Amino acid sequence: TKSGYSTGHDVLEDLASADLHPLPSLIIEHREYSKLLSTYVEPIISKTCEDGRLRTTFIVTHAATGRLASRDPNLQNIPVRTEEGRKIRGVFKAKEGSKLVSLDYSQIELRILASLSRDKELMDAFKNGEDIHSKTASAIFRTLPFMVDDNMRRQAKAVNFGILYGMQAFKLSQDTGVDISFARQYIDNYFSFYTSVKDFLDDLILNAKKNGYVENTGFVKK
């Protein structure tokens, strides 16, 4: 790089895939285990009470979004994507006679987007109890719903939430691992399917430029 040799994750991934030497793969593996140990395993052990139970503190004044947050330890970011990370979840067991309860808003940001943009496809998806990520995958990959696989759904999820916050093709390509041209096509296909979402977001930008502020009001397509 401009500043010298790099051992960043992306560089190591490229070196590992080239299969020139076993060291890059070993470094990646070591980093993964080190992060699991320092971020999850050690804090869990240190915070476990004498009776073997783990007690977190829930607070509503910590997250800027107003969401319920978990602290000391944070039990909301226990890993799930990797096999080794999922093993950590196995240490959480309810005491006899009790149950573990998992609660979450169901696609709350996308529901708000449907309400504000009045997009028919989005509203129909929630009214009919459809899987919104699978529906979006069907749209951006231009395929039938029953042909959507887990990887396609995962990429569509990144598109669904990325669009809300102005994600462009470059960032989407980084998050999904696809070529930037494909990422750009995903976004174009998304907006051609959810047309009122495109109108709503464009309208927000225009109003921001005109008025210097935006309002949380619904959009009525003229």
Q: Enter the tokens of residue 75.
A: 């039990």
Backbone angles phi and psi of 218, in degrees to 5: -65, 155
pLDDT band at 218 (very low <50, low <70, confident <90, very high): low
Task: Give the integer Cα–Cα distance in Å for 77 and 187.
Answer: 28
pLDDT at 222: 46
pLDDT band at 10 (very low <50, low <70, confident <90, very high): confident
What are the b/e assignments for 125-164, b being 16+ CB within 10 Å? beeeeeebbbbbbbbbbeeeeeebeeebbebbbbbbbbbe
Q: What is the pTM of this model?
A: 0.64
Task: Look up tokens 């921001």; give the residue.
Answer: 208
Query: Mean pLDDT across the chain, nearest whole number?
Result: 88
- The residues pairing with 48 across neighbouring beta strands, listed in sequence order, are 54
pLDDT at 120: 95
Residue 64 has pLDDT above 80, yes or no: no
Residue 186 has pLDDT above 90, yes or no: yes
DSSP state of 65: T
Q: What tens digit of pLDDT does each residue of 119-162 get?
A: 999 999 999 999 999 999 999 999 998 999 999 999 999 999 99
Residue 205 in 3-state DSSP? Answer: helix
